[in-house]
DNA sequence: TCTATAATTGAAAATGATTTTCAAATACTC
DNA sequence: GAGTATTTGAAAATCATTTTCAATTATAGA
């Protein structure tokens, strides 16, 4: 989903379009990796210097509510945000450059259900994240 | 690994065995679900009333370092600790009673490597957690 | 285009979790 | 049992996040 669509989505929910929000949305949308609120603040201030950290938090809250971003959990912390991809709920993260790529893991559902069954569980959700080194980072060794 | 082994492990690393640590270790070891530092503090105080929250944090830090506990990430938060099971790195968590069960997912490694390959990654680690409802909770509906 | 108004803003204060500091208590070595 | 280095809990400090509030601004309607 493009930045324009995000902003339109925002409007259609009754929220106003401000420069502050535009800066946050654009920063998150164009980042190849998940960013913390503080990082978003730093980056988005280049575009809109008056931006306050509080507004970053508030905008992320709304973006999460509208399913436009998702929170990403990593060893270093659990408060980074990434543009959300519809339907594709799994992430592949580069341990070096932190780039995040979505992948479709639908074919794993059956295996997961079976594991649950073995332990008496009915599985309803899962969390899967793969970590590795991306091609680019391997080349720039 | 039993509580006694944990305590022995502690000693062999040069750490002292105190009542405070014993209370924390025993609380975590016998819990069927991941506990937050505050929860551990509350529970362990029944055994050792003088226990301070700070000591819970410090003990968990050491237990994590010795690989005796692991941090569990959940929707509600990422600061809960669970007794670690060797080799078995995946969790199945009941959404109702929060009970956590380890399972062996070694047969999934090949699938994960393949997913990575498709995107130019060499996968080195993964995070997998399944959520569902356990048998007991389904029966007590 | 202008105005009225409700939403949004940023700064500062408040909160809550975690960490640090420090003097008193204690486990362990000899 | 004494001496010493580790560990302790309370209080203070820190850090991320949330709340408060008066000033600013986007938007709907005139």
- Dump pLDDT digits (tens) for B25-69: 999 999 999 999 999 999 999 999 999 999 999 999 999 999 999
Q: Which protein residues have any CB–strand D distance under 7 A?
A: A 11, 16-19, 36-38, 53-54, 57-58, 61, 79; B 14-16, 18, 20-21, 48, 50-52, 54-55, 58-59
In eight-state DSSP terms, residue B108 is G
Q: Is residue A1's pLDDT more than 70?
A: no
Mean pLDDT, to the nearest integer, of B122-132?
A: 95
Specify which residue's alpha carbon is closest to the C1' of nucleotide D17.
Answer: A57
Within 10 angstroms of residue A41's Cβ, the number of other Cβ atoms is 20
C-beta atoms of A115 and B92 within 8 A: yes
Q: Is A85 helix (H, G, I), strand (E, B) or coil?
A: coil
Tell me how many helices (H) and strands (E) chain A has: 6, 5
**Helices B19-30/B53-65 angle, 10° precision:** 70
Shortest Cα distance, chain B CAs vs residue A6, angstroms: 25
Q: Is B61 helix (H, G, I), strand (E, B) or coil?
A: helix
More confident residue, A10 or A101: A101
- Interface check B91 vs A, CB under 8 A: no
Region B3-83: CATH code? 1.10.10.10
- Interface check A57 vs B, CB under 8 A: no
CA–chain centroid gap for B119, Å, is 32
Q: Is residue B6's pLDDT more than 90?
A: no
Region A90-139: CATH code? 3.30.1490.190
The protein footprint on chain D, as nucleotides within 7 A of a CB, is 6-11, 16-20, 25-27
pLDDT band at A105 (very low <50, low <70, confident <90, very high): confident
Q: pLDDT, tens digit, for every residue of A45-97? A: 999 999 999 999 999 999 999 999 999 998 888 999 999 988 778 999 999 99
Residue boundaries of the structural domains of chain B: 3-83, 90-139
pLDDT of residue B1: 61
Q: Is residue B7's pLDDT more than 70?
A: yes
In eight-state DSSP terms, residue B106 is G
What is the four-CA torsion angle of A109, A115, A118, A122, rounded to 10 degrees? -50
Contact between B35 and B99 (Cβ < 8 Å): no
pLDDT of residue A5: 83
- The shortest CB-CB distance from B132 to any of A101, A116, A130 is to A116
CA atoms within 13 A on the CB side of B18: 14
Instruction: Kindly report the pTM of this predicted structure.
Output: 0.91
- Interface check A78 vs B, CB under 8 A: yes
């Amino acid at each position: 989903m493009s930045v324009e669509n995000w902003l339109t989505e925002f409007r259609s929910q009754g929220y106003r379009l401000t420069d502050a929000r535009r800066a946050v949305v654009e920063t998150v949308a164009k980042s190849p990796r998940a960013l913390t609120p503080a990082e978003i603040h730093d980056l988005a201030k280049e575009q809109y210097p008056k931006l306050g950290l509080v507004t970053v938090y508030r905008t992320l809250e709304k973006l999460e509510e509208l399913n436009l971003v998702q929170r990403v959990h990593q060893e270093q912390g659990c408060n980074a945000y990434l543009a959300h991809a519809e339907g594709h709920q799994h992430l592949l993260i580069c341990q070096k450059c932190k780039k995040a790529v979505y992948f479709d893991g639908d074919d794993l559902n059956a295996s997961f259900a079976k594991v649950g069954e073995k332990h008496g569980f009915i599985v309803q959700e899962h969390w899967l994240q793969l970590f590795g080194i991306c091609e680019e980072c391997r080349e720039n060794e």
